[in-house]
Amino acid sequence: DAGVTQSPTHLIKTRGQQVTLRCSPKSGHDTVSWYQQALGQGPQFIFQYYEEEERQRGNFPDRFSGHQFPNYSSELNVNALLLGDSALYLCASGDGMNTEAFFGQGTRLTVV
Amino acid sequence: DQQVKQNSPSLSVQEGRISILNCDYTNSMFDYFLWYKKYPAEGPTFLISISSIKDKNEDGRFTVFLNKSAKHLSLHIVPSQPGDSAVYFCAASDGGSQGNLIFGKGTKLSVKP
């Protein structure tokens, strides 16, 4: 059983560009959350998707947007990239039934 | 304002001894607490959790203690093994295990043979 998979694993972008990160949840999971982990910090909640709708959102600007597809996979889009967006982006999935969230290995985004 | 605090950035323990990792929180609405372990170049791995209605949860070598009045929880690892060396994150939620998780900054545990 594949766990949470994210792609790509590494990415380098230039300031002002746009980026799309992808996540496939663990089999049987229908809820996907995205987190940003800056160097030396804990993961910070960006938003959560359930039934193709954004259910919760953390304190991130509108440049961060997302989408969930009917097969429960999800994308995170970041527009107008800033140097400060350089971080590890983590996707977590859950089944909405009080089991713990499972994380993918993350996408390391570097903005230059 | 940090709602979940791990005040020790690092901890070094001898193999076979007990490791105690601490976590404090400020939000009394948190009702679920989790510990995750993270190795370099991997995503966080769930370790153990506890609901606010309990004060202790045990799973093998890992035990989490919750003191609601002090807004403090701790993770005990007994006995510690070199493979336990990793960064440990404490996380809290006010929406159960599926809610938005608020993480601490992590504690790097080194278990020396």
- B contact test, residue of A48, A90, A100, A105 with most B CBs within 10 A: A100
pLDDT of residue B97: 61
User: pLDDT tens, A73-107?
Assistant: 999 999 999 999 999 999 999 987 666 889 999 99
Residue A5 sits at the chain B interface (C-beta within 8 Å): no
Run of H or E residues at A108 = strand A107-111
- Mean pLDDT across chain A: 94
Q: How far is A42 from chain B (nearest CA, A)?
A: 4
Residue B10 sits at the chain A interface (C-beta within 8 Å): no
Check CB contact under 8 Å for B103 and A90. no
pLDDT bin (cut points 50, 70, 90) of residue A18 is very high
Tokens of B23: 């976590």
pLDDT of residue A23: 98
Strands B32-38 and A53-57 come out as unpaired
Please report, as a single letter, which amino acid is at residue A1: D
Residue A87 sits at the chain B interface (C-beta within 8 Å): no
Residue B97 sits at the chain A interface (C-beta within 8 Å): yes
Distance, in Å, from the CA atom of B110 to the CA atom of B11, rounded to the nearest integer, reads 6
For residue A6, the chain B residues in CB contact (below 8 A) are 43
User: pLDDT tens, B8-32?
Assistant: 999 999 999 999 999 999 999 999 9
Residue B69 sits at the chain A interface (C-beta within 8 Å): no
Query: Residue B43, class by beta-carbon neighbours within 10 Å (0-12 exposed, 13-18 middle, 19+ buried)?
Result: buried
Q: What is the mean pLDDT of each run of 10 residues along chain B (113 residues)?
A: 92 98 95 94 93 95 97 98 97 80 96 96
Check CB contact under 8 Å for A100 and B106. no
